[in-house]
Chain A
Amino acid sequence: MSAFKFVLNELKFSAKDRTLLLWMAVVLGLSSLSVGFGLSEVHSQKKVIENLIVSDRQDRIAEQGKLSDWGSAAYYNFHLTYNSPSGFAFAALGQRDEQPWKHRIRMLALEGQIYERDVGNPSVTLIGRFDFSFLASFVLPLVLIVLLYDLRASERTAGRYNLLESTAARPASLWRLRALIRVSAVSMCLLIPLVFAGWFAETDFLTLLSASTIVLAYAIFWSLVCYCFSAWRKSGSVILMTLIGIWSVTAIVIPASARLIVDRTVALPSGADILMLQREAVNDAWDLPKDATMKPFFERHPQWAHYQPEKSAFEWQWFFAFQQVGDQKTEALANAYRDGRLQRDHIAAWVSLIAPPSLLERSLQSLANTDFNASNRYESEVRAFHRKLREYYYPKFFNHEAFDKAALERLPEFNSGAQAAQ
């Protein structure tokens, strides 16, 4: 008997398997829904960024008409920063769900601005969005378990196992082929909407290929686990409970326990503490002698040390100096916060090696530039941009340059790194 006839026979049989057809439809529907949600969210984020770019420019032009000195320009001008979604972000929204991806930055203390984010429904944030990475990482294994756990057990229960084994010209191949057809059918239903959405979102071909390969490898991993357990001479319910147990441990217990342990071992200062410290530093400065502000400022900018603040009058130099000193005072806390989060993410990456669902989710988020590194990169870009603003304005303040509206055209502009990558 030729292998082709053997495969064709099993394909014809599977085509009449209503359970398989039902699960194919379910996976196709869920996959379409997940990429649909993702595309819609990414479209809305892109639209927000497009609108903000226009509004930001219009706002700055409108403000410039009213400006008469460099201090007011620095105070009243907002600057848009944003982290554009990548072409693959629709599949794995990742950190874009909870971390900020847009800021309007002023020359004021940065620590008071950089943690701002849109207020969303906390319940939704806790659950997370239903995107493709969630579907592939957590739901796909369950579908594969349901389709494969009783590959042999159901035939034993139906009294057909010995008949099939004694009839099949290649009994070992029969089970492998049957499993392969089921896994291929479900994987196809999972990936078709992803490929279409990728084409629609103009995703980079290599990214799409890498994502599909990773998802297929993940499906093969779970299929092998299910296949091995399906050969166990136990009842279907025992095999099912065992596989669900494995899924629970790798998808829920290990990540949740690891998070609990990491949260306890890697302590983080609270964001509120950073904000409070910065606000107190800035507010206190109004009542402190100006020297108390200027001394730590000149330590960072010795080139402006020649500046002698007036005793009583308001001066923009002093105002922006105490804004920076506010940032300086929270620097240690802010660095500890950032380093702690990096360390937690680093540990989570190691833990994901024994929790395949987390590993897949992280891999897809990494491909989509929506992981913690991408969010951290954006924060660094905002900090760098804020530094550029200071570097632009400080010489104007401290060198007492004459106000020149035309020079405002040469204000630093934010370039989204993620946007450049895609």
Chain B
Amino acid sequence: MFGCNLEHRATSVSQLLLGFNVLMLQADSLHVVRSNKAVLNDISFTVQRGEVYALLGGNGAGKSTTLLSFLGFLLPSQGRVLVKDKDVGADVMAARRAISYLPESASLYEHLNAIENLQYFLGLAGVDVTLGDMDTVLDRVSLAPDARKRNLRDYSKGMRQKVAIALAMLRNSDILLLDEPTSGLDPNAIDELHRIIRGLADAGKAILMVTHDVYGACQVADRIGLLHSGNLVGEFVAQGDDRIDTNAVHTAFASKANSSSLLSNPPSSNPQLSKV
């Protein structure tokens, strides 16, 4: 733990030296309507270079919608989203070029091996990388060399996630959008993934991840935004070398989750709610 703090302190110094306080992602009074229903209401937040921002929320809170807005798949009905200070709506392709996106349960092609998947997706993006580069990055994400020539259908979920992370790293974009990156992973794989995410942020990437894993978000994020029913209801910021307090976030998250579950019950079966 002590070692971790030292490392973090050193990184903070390097961030200052590299001028990390640059806005990479910005949601500005973002409203999104889907099927005549508001799914995001007046959301505003920013993500800077070298920062991990975690959007935390339950199912249907609007987390993935936020990511899709930055990728230009959903355009705001009001407000705007900016990637590197440019409105996404004005140039979707420029926004997508700046972003590496890791969808939930990253489904790469199962009939291809790790190297072939990387070659295909990087070719699609128009990124030239050598086999050596790929091996280096796969080493960094700790994918065993003997696994790299096996088709992905033989991989565990954690191994697939590593390949997807490797893809995001090899694209060398300034921004990473991660949708539930730890979903379905075992604790060791989660720790390893957090280490990788933290390392990428320390190397200057701006990372926006959405998750409902309170502990994981606190472990890796510099800031946490709490999303509830399309509203950003709170924000937690790591102070100095200290990580965000898990208990505080958990309490806030649970209270929102409980109020949500109360609201989801019909009044007749829940006398407390009818009193409210």
Residues of chain A with a CB closer than 8 A to B111's CB: 16-18
Known: A16-B112, A162-B68, A166-B71. A174 touches B124 (CB 8 A): yes
Contact B96 A166 (CB under 8 A): yes
Interchain nearest-CB distance for B72 vs A (Å)? 8
Interface size on B, residues (CB 8 A): 26
Bound state CA distance, A165 and B68, in angstroms? 11
A18 to B126, CA, bound (A): 25
Is B105 interfacial (CB-CB < 8 Å)?
Answer: yes
Given contacts A16-B112, A18-B111, contact A164 B124 (CB under 8 A): yes
* A97–B84 alpha-carbon span in the complex (Å): 70
A168 at the interface (CB under 8 A from B): yes
- Asked if A22 is at the interface of the complex by the 8 Å CB criterion, the answer is no
State in angstroms the CA–CA spacing of A98 and B109 once bound together.
51
Chain B residues within 8 Å of A160, by CB: 103, 107-109
B106 pairs with A163, CB closer than 8 A: yes
One of B115-123, B192-200, B212-220 contacting the partner: B115-123
Is A406 an interface residue, CB under 8 A from the partner?
Answer: no
Q: Would you list which residues of chain A between 1 and 30 have a CB under 8 Å from chain B? A: 1, 5-6, 8-9, 12-13, 16-18
- The residues of A that contact B101 with a CB separation of less than 8 Å are 162-163, 166-167
Given contacts A18-B111, A159-B104, A159-B105, contact A165 B73 (CB under 8 A): yes
B73, A162: Cβ atoms closer than 8 Å: yes
Least CB separation from B97: chain A residue:
A169
B80 at the A interface (CB under 8 A): no
- A119: chain B residues at CB < 8 Å are none
Residues of B within 8 A of A126 (CB): none
Contact B120 A159 (CB under 8 A): no
B123 touches A5 (CB 8 A): yes
Interface residues on A, range: 20 to 34
Task: Kindly identify which residue among B105, B119, B124 contacts A167, using a CB–CB cutoff of 8 Å.
Answer: B124
Confirm or deny: A158 has a beta carbon within 8 angstroms of a beta carbon on chain B. yes
- Is B125's CB under 8 angstroms from A167's CB? yes
Taking CB atoms, residues of chain B closer than 8 Å to A18 are: 111
Q: Which residues of B contact A16 (CB under 8 A)?
A: 111-112, 116
Instruction: Determine the distance from Cα of A1 to Cα of B171 in the docked complex, in whole angstroms.
Output: 14
What separation, in Å, do the CA atoms of A90 and B119 have in the docked complex?
A: 45
Residues of B close to A158: CB separation below 8 A: 107
Which listed residue (A8, A12, A163, A168) contacts B103, Cβ 8 A?
A163
**Alpha-carbon gap, A6 to B125, bound state (A):** 9
B71 touches A5 (CB 8 A): no
* Interchain CA distance A37-B199 in the complex, whole Å: 66
Shortest beta-carbon distance from B131 to chain A in Å? 14
A347 CB to nearest chain B CB (Å)? 48
Cα–Cα distance between A185 and B121 once the two chains are bound (Å): 22
The prevalent SS among residues of A at the interface is helix
B55 on the interface (CB 8 Å rule)?
Answer: no
Q: Does B120 lie within 8 Å of A9, measured CB to CB?
A: yes
Within 8 A of B (CB), among A378-400: none
Query: B126 contacts A169, CB within 8 Å?
Result: yes
Flag whether B56 is at the interface (Cβ < 8 A).
no
Question: Complex Cα distance A75/B141, Å?
Answer: 96
Other-chain residue from B68, B108, B116, B125 in contact with A168 (beta carbon distance below 8 A): B125
With a CB–CB cut-off of 8 A, which chain A residues contact B104? 159
Does any Cβ of A come within 8 Å of B99's Cβ?
Answer: yes
State A164–B93 Cα separation when bound (angstroms): 13
Interface residues as binary, A142-165 with B (CB distance below 8 Å gives 1, 0 otherwise): 000000000000000011101111
Q: A residues within 8 A CB of B124?
A: 6, 9, 164, 167-169, 174
Please, how many angstroms separate the alpha-carbon atoms of A8 and B119 in the complex?
12
Chain B residue nearest in CB terms to A18: B111
Chain B residues whose C-beta falls within 8 Å of the C-beta of A9 in the assembled complex: 119-120, 123-124
**In whole angstroms, how far apart are the Cα atoms of A163 and B109 in the complex?**
12
| Chain B 164-175 interface 0/1 with A at a Cβ cutoff of 8 Å (1 = within) | 000000010000
- Assembled-state Cα–Cα distance A388/B171 (Å): 83
Q: How far is the CB of A260 from chain B (nearest CB, A)?
A: 45
Assembled-state Cα–Cα distance A159/B64 (Å): 13
Are the C-beta atoms of A167 and B121 separated by less than 8 Å? yes
Chain B residues with CB under 8 A of A166: 71, 73, 96, 99, 101
Residue of B99, B119, B124 most packed against chain A (CB within 10 A) = B124
Q: Which residue of A lies closest to B124 (CB)?
A: A168
Q: Please indicate the chain A residues that have their CB under 8 angstroms from the CB of B103 in the complex.
A: 159-160, 162-163
Name the distance in Å between B123's Cβ and chain A's nearest Cβ.
3
Residues on the B chain within 8 Å of A167, using CB: 96, 101, 121, 124-125, 171
Residue of A nearest to B116 (CB): A16
B123 closest partner in A (C-beta):
A9
Tell me the complex Cα distance, A270–B125, Å. Answer: 68
Question: Contacts A167-B125, A169-B126 known; A162 to B105 CB distance under 8 Å?
Answer: no
Q: Which residue of B lies closest to A155 (CB)?
A: B107
A165–B125 alpha-carbon span in the complex (Å): 10
Q: Complex formed: what's the CA distance from A18 to B108 in Å?
A: 16
- Smallest CB gap from B151: residue in A: A16
Q: Which residues of B contact A174 (CB under 8 A)?
A: 124
Cα distance, A165 to B96, chains bound together (Å) = 9
> Whole-angstrom distance from the CB of A356 to the nearest CB of chain B?
34
Contacts of A164 in B (CB 8 A): 124
List the A residue with the shortest CB-CB distance to B112: A16
Nearest-Cβ distance from residue A176 to partner chain B, whole angstroms:
14
Closest to A5 in B: B123
Provide a sorted-by-A list of 5 A–B residue pairs whose CB atoms are within 8 angstroms: A6-B126, A16-B112, A162-B71, A163-B102, A165-B96
Q: Which 5 A-B pairs have the closest CB atoms?
A: A1-B126, A9-B123, A169-B126, A159-B107, A158-B107
Q: Contacts A9-B123, A9-B124, A166-B101 given; 8 further ones with Cβ under 8 A?
A: A6-B126, A159-B106, A159-B107, A162-B71, A165-B73, A166-B73, A168-B124, A169-B125
